[in-house]
Structure 1
Amino acid sequence: MKRVKLLVVSCVLGTSLLVSTNVFAKDNVNILRLAGQNRYGTSDAIVSQGWSQSDYAVLVNSENFPDAITSSPLAKKYDAPILLTDSSSLTDSTRQELENLGVKNVFIIGGTAVVSSNVENNLENMGISVKRIWGQDRYETSLKVAKEVELPNGVFVVSGEHYEDALSVAPIAAELQYPIVLISRNNVPDTVLNYTDVIKNTDGHVVVVGGEDVLNSNVISVINPTEIYNQTSKYNRNLALIDDYRRQLNLSTVYIASNKGFADALSGSALAGRNGNPIILVGNSNLSSVNNLISYSNVRNVNVLGGTGVLSDYAVSQIIGEASVSREPSEIVLKDTDNAPISTGVGEVPSNELWLTYSDGTEELLVSSHDAEETQDIVAGISNPQFSIDKKKIYFMSEAWATSASVHVVDIETKSEHFVCDGNYFKVIQNGPYAGNLIVNQHRYYEEGGSYNDYYIVSPEGEQISDLGDSSEVLSEYE
């Protein structure tokens, strides 16, 4: 087993710090982490790795992805870094970066609602020439950016409502000088269709990237592309693109980015595109697939975009070999979502999610609220989550039940979730002869009419073991 040197470049208050540490891995792979205290610090670290001077820069909104995700081919054309800013004013760190690089020309991507005229004025007061590229919406803006890339012989078409596929193609598009244009799930703007038709009519390539999770199949058929990447997940599409375009890319170095946000990967796409390196999207479900790609591609340098808060040392260790970082289930977190409530026998029940945080700081989505054909399998209004004694499972309540709530369980390793029993309350018994079983308060009916609530000891499979009666005082016996 060989040691792999892990270098961390982080920018704090405009100063680059280089920190060296070691992790274990199966192969001789160098790891460079480009990170800062926030997305601006990470952007500074990325820029310092690629540019000491630049006449041009591309400026995008740090929190609004639709316009920004199309900018990597433009950045490549002018050998320019992609810099981030707030919408209302030029951030201090970006101002400093512009001065350090000696930038003379800036492309602002997006209208004044995305990057305000105040930012434009700030730049002009610095003596910088500004060109704003924008349209009435994200789709028109993507076309305006595309037209800055002269005489392309191909174009990538991706969803304008999700950023992952655009980030997957960004360094490839930059290397090939293929523009990135946007469409919606259910519609192709006429202007975009006209543009792709022009590319096809000149024997160019029109490559649609997006599966049914982001694009309607009818929309893809309207475009009639020369190539389609419609694998079932963003991760599969990402790896398929890298595999198919490996001859146009330099796979001795790869960049890896978390799927949690677009800013780090977007900043990194300019550097990756400059050097012809791919960006690999990383989530909890595809670590082994990324490891396989790195292994058979003979990758020698892995550049990590972002700090450990977005991509942990454990995940990086998994990608390049055997993990040397302890990773244990730590905390259960319930998160509200913007999804519509679930309709159940008790009416509309809020949609939420159950997440698990690990000791290394990573987190994983285990259960999302969902509908089902069988009433007992509906999950919504998730509450009262508890670990099993061995911390291999999590029990939780779901409000989606006709006369009471229900108890469900999810296996942490397999992510499989199923109904255990009905119940208005439960807890996992920690000690004594019944340790590992559950105490559940259940609503029952008398044959002659009426109903009652009793406490029961129930097995992890939902089988009743003992009736404890209707008094909550019995709970103290099983603390």
Structure 2
Amino acid sequence: MKNIRTRFVLKSKKLAAIVMSAALVAAFNFTKVDAASIAARYNGVDRYETASKVCQDGWKEDTDYAVIVNGDNFPDAMTAAPLAKKYDAPILLTNTDILNPYTSVELNRLKVKNVFLIGGKSVISQSIEDALKAREIKVTRIGGTNRYETSILVAQKLGKVNEIAVVNGDQFHDGMSMASIAALKGIPIILTGSNYIPDTVKKYLQSNKKIEQAYVVGGTDQISDSVLSYIPNAKRIGEGDVYQRNTSIINAFQNEISTGTIFVASARDFPDSLVASSIAPKTSSPILYVDSPISDYTVNLLSSKIVNNIKILGGTGVVGYDLEYILSSIPLSISYVNNITDTIWQNQKYTPRPTVVVTATDGTLKEMPVTWNVSYLSTSKPGIYTINGTIDGTYRTITTTLIVNPLPVSIADISDEVQSGYSYSFPDTVNAKMSDGTVAKVDVNWEYGDQAINTPGVYTFYGTVNKYSKKVKLTLVVRDSGSSGTPSNQFDDTTIEIVQGESYKLPKTVLDKVTNKNLPVTWNTRSIDTSETGIVRLVGTVTGSSYNAYLTLIVTPKIVEVPQIVETVIQGSTYTMPTQVAAKTSDGQTIYVDVTWETPFVDLGSPQTYYLKGTVKHFEDPVVLVLKVVSY
């Protein structure tokens, strides 16, 4: 009869738990369809096995380092997380006098070569240290005369830092709330008293007066204002009860952490949250305290975040099934995410966006990490590419359409004319032959300089086109508005450009566009003086026609100098020979002309100086490029 009653009592307790869970769910008024996934529960027979399971999940391959702390002593252990992160080491627990078997197994599995023991010999015995050394493991003990000095010694092991976290060393809650975040940021956790600062801590703070920020964790009950006054560049974060401080700390660093994965642990004891502080930085995750009944501050934080994965520290006796169900139901999920279109140039380096903005179920915008089906995409060929991704921790897919535009490879020089006294509008676009074989109009920006075009003459302008290595040339002929003669449609009104000083023979025939025959022509001059720049307008008498032919000769300034080019490159790098060089002309202008090099390639493997020669059309002297290859 007694056994029957016992079974009834147990069933009643289970029923009560289910009823309580249902009541809590109803109280929170959950309307979500999607729920956060309980991705893992690290559940051992005791805290030591739980620590080993965390280690197995976070470190599946060999690692050189491990951090060992006392599983019953939180003060020394509280500062270990940043050190573990620096050396990519798991945090394992042990007893004071005997190396815990679960920890020993993990050291063997990971083939650990170096171990940090946190705490003095009264915390972790000399016997454990000797046993580790006997296994040919190098042991570094970090332990002071008290918890405060130990925290300073651990901080010094991290090296020079720009920020620190200061917590009350008499209770573990704030230290464990801060541990994973401090580890992620690589900043030490300094312990102090609530109303006093130990001398070792005071000395450390005085020697680090120039730190950019000191995060003082907790309210005045945890760290008083008198203690705060000793701390340089102090910023207080987290006030209220344990759960309010915990969530305030998470929110204080929300721009640096990710809530896609959250580790949850009970606030009633420290070991579970401690061992999580070494694995949580791998996903930039915080540690959240949960207990029954769940705190309003915890609910408010979860209901404002998109949480994809929840990892629970401890068994159901610590975080029960009722809490597990509630935790998975509270967080936001993704309501909508827009696909992406990115446009780049051919050969431009492209990496898919690591994060995207999504719309959460409450209408707010959130940033979420993405895993794409490619990590690298060659952009050597123009075209349209599709990249598929998945929002981390969800089944939501997203697509990036990548448009790789072709590059302009050839743009012909432009000639145009206008009569003096008339305005002239420079073209906004030019036709370019693209790298994919097409012809497209591309934007051009003209360099007007200080040239005035209100008098007859020949004017040269240069423009730049995005992603085109050469200058675009525009030759503008300004004709005298009083020029005699009106061209007919029977003969072409030809314009020819020649360089100053070059000889030119006048054509003996012109094409009759009516009969498609070449007819003899007699020009109004027999020779052309090209020693001076300018425009020569010729009128020709065509045999057998009543119409005249017209010829415009544009004598452009000659190149008088191409300055020597000096370039410096690093040994082992790449260098592309210039395709155009700046040249000075007889009218004092600077133009850009094509150059052909005698040695198109050079060896940059060793430091030396090259003197390279090139040729420019219409210029007799060689162009000289001095290329200096220097060592690193």
Per the alignment, in what secondary structure is the counterpart of residue 57 of structure 1? strand
Match of 1:315 among 323, 330, 334: 323
CA distance in 2 between partners of 1:69 and 1:109 (Å): 10
- 1:28 equivalenced with 2:29 (yes/no): no
Deviations 1:194-235 (A, max 9, x none): 32344342x421111022333333222332542102512121
1:49-448 to structure 2, matched below 5 A, reads: 49-52=57-60, 53-201=62-210, 203-223=211-231, 225-284=233-292, 286-321=294-329
Instruction: Tell me the amino acid that sits aligned with residue 132 of structure 2.
Output: L
Identity level (%): 40
CA distance in 2 between partners of 1:140 and 1:210 (Å): 21
Deviations 1:404-448 (A, max 9, x none): xxxxxxxxxxxxxxxxxxxxxxxxxxxxxxxxxxxxxxxxxxxxx
Match of residue 450 from structure 1: none
Question: Under a length normalisation based on structure 2, what TM-score does the superposition of the two structures give?
Answer: 0.46
Instruction: Tell me the amino acid that sits aligned with residue 196 of structure 2.
Output: N
Per the alignment, in what secondary structure is the counterpart of residue 87 of structure 1? coil
Residue 129 of structure 1 deviates from its aligned partner by 0.6
Ranked by relative contact order (alpha carbons within 8 Å, sequence separation 6 or more), the top structure is 1
Instruction: Tell me the amino acid that sits aligned with residue 216 of structure 2.
Output: V
Match of residue 55 from structure 2: 47
CA distance in 1 between partners of 2:186 and 2:179 (Å): 10
Greater shift after overlay, 281-290 or 205-214?
281-290
Instruction: Tell me the amino acid that sits aligned with residue 213 of structure 1.
Output: D
Could you tell me whether the CA contact under 8 Å between 1:294 and 1:320 is conserved in 2? no
Could you tell me whether the CA contact under 8 Å between 1:167 and 1:269 is conserved in 2? yes
Instruction: Tell me the amino acid that sits aligned with residue 133 of structure 1.
Output: I
CA distance in 2 between partners of 1:47 and 1:95 (Å): 12
CA distance in 1 between partners of 2:199 and 2:94 (Å): 31
Match of residue 385 from structure 1: none
CA distance in 1 between partners of 2:321 and 2:221 (Å): 30
CA distance in 2 between partners of 1:308 and 1:126 (Å): 36
Instruction: Tell me the amino acid that sits aligned with residue 104 of structure 2.
Output: R
CA distance in 2 between partners of 1:215 and 1:293 (Å): 24
Closer, same or farther: CA 305–39 of 1 in aligned 2, 3 Å: same
Instruction: Tell me the amino acid that sits aligned with residue 214 of structure 1.
Output: Q
Deviations 1:271-322 (A, max 9, x none): 0123311001123354443233223221101110111111111122222327
Larger Rg: 2
Could you tell me whether the CA contact under 8 Å between 1:158 and 1:165 is conserved in 2? yes
Residue 89 of structure 1 deviates from its aligned partner by 1.1
Could you tell me whether the CA contact under 8 Å between 1:287 and 1:318 is conserved in 2? no
CA distance in 2 between partners of 1:183 and 1:286 (Å): 30
Deviations 1:43-75 (A, max 9, x none): 111111100221100000000111000000000
Per the alignment, in what secondary structure is the counterpart of residue 211 of structure 1? coil
Could you tell me whether the CA contact under 8 Å between 2:64 and 2:111 is conserved in 1? yes
Per the alignment, in what secondary structure is the counterpart of residue 84 of structure 2? helix
Per the alignment, in what secondary structure is the counterpart of residue 251 of structure 2? helix
Per the alignment, in what secondary structure is the counterpart of residue 43 of structure 2? strand
CA distance in 2 between partners of 1:183 and 1:136 (Å): 14
CA distance in 2 between partners of 1:61 and 1:210 (Å): 25
Per the alignment, in what secondary structure is the counterpart of residue 157 of structure 2? coil
CA distance in 2 between partners of 1:213 and 1:319 (Å): 29
CA RMSD of aligned residues (A): 1.9
CA distance in 2 between partners of 1:287 and 1:235 (Å): 7
CA distance in 1 between partners of 2:176 and 2:221 (Å): 16
CA distance in 1 between partners of 2:238 and 2:247 (Å): 12
CA distance in 2 between partners of 1:235 and 1:195 (Å): 30
Residue 98 of structure 1 deviates from its aligned partner by 0.3
CA distance in 1 between partners of 2:232 and 2:225 (Å): 11
Q: Which has the higher helix share?
A: 1
Matched pairs, number? 299
Per the alignment, in what secondary structure is the counterpart of residue 301 of structure 2? helix
Residue 151 of structure 1 deviates from its aligned partner by 1.3
Could you tell me whether the CA contact under 8 Å between 1:291 and 1:321 is conserved in 2? no
CA distance in 2 between partners of 1:295 and 1:220 (Å): 33
